[in-house]
């Protein structure tokens, strides 16, 4: 665990050792089978159950509802790095409950926490989904610049209820989640103050689903469209009714999603590097191991530099997340910009590493019988989601000065 020093605490060291052991013994031997169209999701579920048993589902949830209350960004990112080395899907999914209930936690919405989040503190797998992206676009919708004006899912107030109408796309855990956090607009004239994050349990009348998407990677996830037609839920299931708070909660989700994606990408870069160092020791040309040739040693050194830089960068930013007194809240422009910066950097570095590994391995790098192709297919989405590569650059610039975009055009 030396590589995470001096950022980690004693409790992180213990958890990281357990997680690393789990990755070696449980994930590595079956990771290729996660892409099997018949068995992949089942294997994924069994592995997630194992991670629940080691405490990852409840880890960042508050103690008062049975969680472990270990919500430091350094703990969460280093765990994601370790897990993603085994398979990138696990860098993301075990932390989803914390992102999804994050708005209720910071808004102190005890109705939601006791009714929905408390179950996630049991020693049993539960599943949650984040329903943000719409057919008209995913980058715009969570963009702080747009201030909620492009969200087309509407929550109408009727008595003690919200009535939700809208169409979401690309929802991970779609159709299997027990609880959905749905991004809505209550009134476009209110801009960011009109944004509502509303918890909708599965089975609520008016919810329906499309068929699973056919994706390049993340094959063991079930990702699909969700339709909300006059879905009625109690007012208390909105994360916060304080004007502007849910808008800030959306930024908080973006901030953590980008930071955790960066750590997961770093885990992929580590996995790729470990594999290719070993592979090039067992492959020869010109009477020497591939890795003993100067050109190939230089390529391996470049991969190591990318890996070390990505890790140092995300650990630094994660430690800033944990020091609110100095760096502010993850709902603010500064940390959102920093999380965006490290996600951009880690994605470029990791995808570059996958390409270099393939070039070092030749056809074996391109073969699905070896792990590099899967690492590349899975890691690409960690770069494309949550703001993508363009809008996140605007968020980086906004950390330093006020950036004004062109006139807003709503399609």
Ligand X SMILES: Cc1cc2nc3c(=O)[nH]c(=O)nc-3n(C[C@H](O)[C@H](O)[C@H](O)COP(=O)(O)OP(=O)(O)OC[C@H]3O[C@@H](n4cnc5c(N)ncnc54)[C@H](O)[C@@H]3O)c2cc1C
Distance from C-alpha of 195 to C-alpha of 178, rounded to nearest angstrom: 23
Q: Is 382 a binder of ligand X (CB under 6 A)?
A: no
Q: Is 44 a binder of ligand X (CB under 6 A)?
A: no
16 vs 224, beta carbon nearer ligand X:
224
Distance from C-alpha of 336 to C-alpha of 392, rounded to nearest angstrom: 9
Q: Which two tokens stand for residue 148?
A: 């909620």
Q: Least distance from C-beta 389 to ligand X, angstroms?
A: 6
Question: For residue 286, with 0-12 CB atoms within 10 Å meaning exposed, 13-18 middle and 19 or more buried, which class applies?
Answer: exposed
3-state secondary structure at position 399: coil
Q: Is 210 a binder of ligand X (CB under 6 A)?
A: no
117 in Cβ contact with 86 (< 8 Å): no
- Contact window for ligand X (CB under 6 A) among 20-28, 60-68, 132-140, 228-236: 132-140
Options 97, 132, 222, 315; binder of ligand X; rule CB under 6 A: 132
Nearest-CB residue for ligand X: 138
- Give start and end residues of each alpha helix (H) in 240-293: 245-279
Q: Least distance from C-beta 250 to ligand X, angstroms?
A: 11
- Contact window for ligand X (CB under 6 A) among 6-14, 237-245, 323-331, 384-392: 384-392
* Residue whose C-alpha is closest to residue 252's, from 66, 410, 101: 101
Q: What per-residue string of b and e applies to 20-54 under the rule 16 or more CB within 10 Å gives b?
A: bebbeeebeebbbebbeeeebbebbeebbeebbee
357 vs 381, beta carbon nearer ligand X:
381
185 vs 280, beta carbon nearer ligand X:
185
Options 143, 264, 296, 383; binder of ligand X; rule CB under 6 A: 143
Residues 6+ apart with CB under 8 A from 302: 356
Question: For residue 270, with 0-12 CB atoms within 10 Å meaning exposed, 13-18 middle and 19 or more buried, which class applies?
Answer: buried
Q: Is 138 a binder of ligand X (CB under 6 A)?
A: yes
Q: Is 260 a binder of ligand X (CB under 6 A)?
A: no
Q: Is 385 a binder of ligand X (CB under 6 A)?
A: yes
Which residues 146-205 are close enough to bind ligand X by CB under 6 A? 170-172
Distance from C-alpha of 260 to C-alpha of 15, rounded to nearest angstrom: 17
Q: Is 57 a binder of ligand X (CB under 6 A)?
A: no
Cis peptide before 79 (omega within 30 of 0): no
Options 125, 190, 394, 399; binder of ligand X; rule CB under 6 A: 394
Size of the site for ligand X (CB under 6 A): 24
Q: Is 107 a binder of ligand X (CB under 6 A)?
A: no
131 vs 249, beta carbon nearer ligand X:
131
Q: Is 139 a binder of ligand X (CB under 6 A)?
A: yes
Return the sign of the alpha-carbon dihedral for residues 37, 38, 39, 45: positive
- Strands 223-234, 207-209: pairing is antiparallel
Q: Least distance from C-beta 387 to ligand X, angstroms?
A: 6
Options 57, 78, 140, 353; binder of ligand X; rule CB under 6 A: 140
Question: Which parts of this chain interact with ligand X (CB under 6 A)?
Answer: 130-133, 137-140, 143, 170-172, 215, 218, 223, 381, 384-386, 388-391, 394
């Amino acid at each position: 665990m030396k590589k995470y020093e001096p950022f980690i605490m004693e409790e992180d060291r213990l958890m990281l050792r357990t997680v690393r052991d789990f990755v070696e013994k449980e994930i590595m031997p079956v990771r290729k089978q996660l892409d099997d169209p018949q068995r992949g999701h089942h294997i994924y579920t069994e592995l997630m159950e194992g991670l629940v048993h080691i405490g990852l589902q409840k880890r960042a949830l508050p103690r008062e509802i049975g969680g472990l209350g270990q919500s430091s960004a350094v703990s969460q990112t280093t765990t994601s790095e370790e897990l993603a080395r085994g398979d990138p899907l696990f860098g993301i999914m075990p932390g989803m409950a914390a992102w999804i209930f994050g708005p209720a936690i910071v808004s102190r919405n005890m109705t939601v926490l006791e009714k929905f989040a408390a179950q996630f503190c049991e020693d049993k797998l539960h599943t949650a989904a984040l329903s943000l992206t719409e057919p008209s676009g995913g980058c715009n919708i969570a963009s702080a610049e747009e201030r909620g004006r492009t969200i087309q899912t509407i929550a109408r107030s009727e008595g003690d209820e919200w009535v939700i109408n809208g169409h979401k796309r690309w929802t991970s855990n779609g159709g299997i989640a027990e609880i959905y956090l749905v991004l809505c607009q209550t009134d476009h004239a209110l801009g960011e103050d009109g944004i509502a994050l509303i918890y909708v349990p599965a089975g609520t009348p008016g919810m329906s689903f499309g068929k699973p998407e056919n994706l390049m990677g993340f094959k063991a996830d079930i990702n699909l469209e969700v339709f909300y037609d006059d879905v009625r839920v109690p007012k208390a299931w909105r994360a916060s009714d304080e004007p502007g708070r849910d808008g800030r909660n959306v930024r908080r989700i973006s901030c953590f999603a980008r930071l955790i994606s960066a750590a997961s990408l770093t885990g992929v870069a580590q996995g790729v590097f470990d594999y290719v160092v070993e592979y090039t020791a067992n492959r020869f040309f010109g009477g020497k191991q591939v890795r003993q040739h100067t050109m190939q040693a230089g390529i391996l050194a470049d991969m190591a530099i990318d890996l070390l830089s990505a890790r140092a960068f995300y650990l630094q930013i994660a430690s800033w997340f944990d020091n609110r007194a100095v760096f502010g809240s993850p709902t603010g422009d500064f940390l959102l910009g920093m999380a965006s910066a490290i996600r951009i950097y880690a994605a470029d570095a990791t995808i570059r590493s996958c390409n270099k590994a393939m070039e070092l391995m030749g056809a074996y790098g391109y073969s699905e019988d070896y792990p590099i192709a899967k690492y590349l297919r899975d890691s690409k989405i960690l770069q494309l989601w949550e703001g993508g590569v363009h809008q996140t650059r605007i968020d980086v610039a906004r950390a330093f000065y006020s950036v004004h975009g062109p006139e807003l055009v709503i399609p």
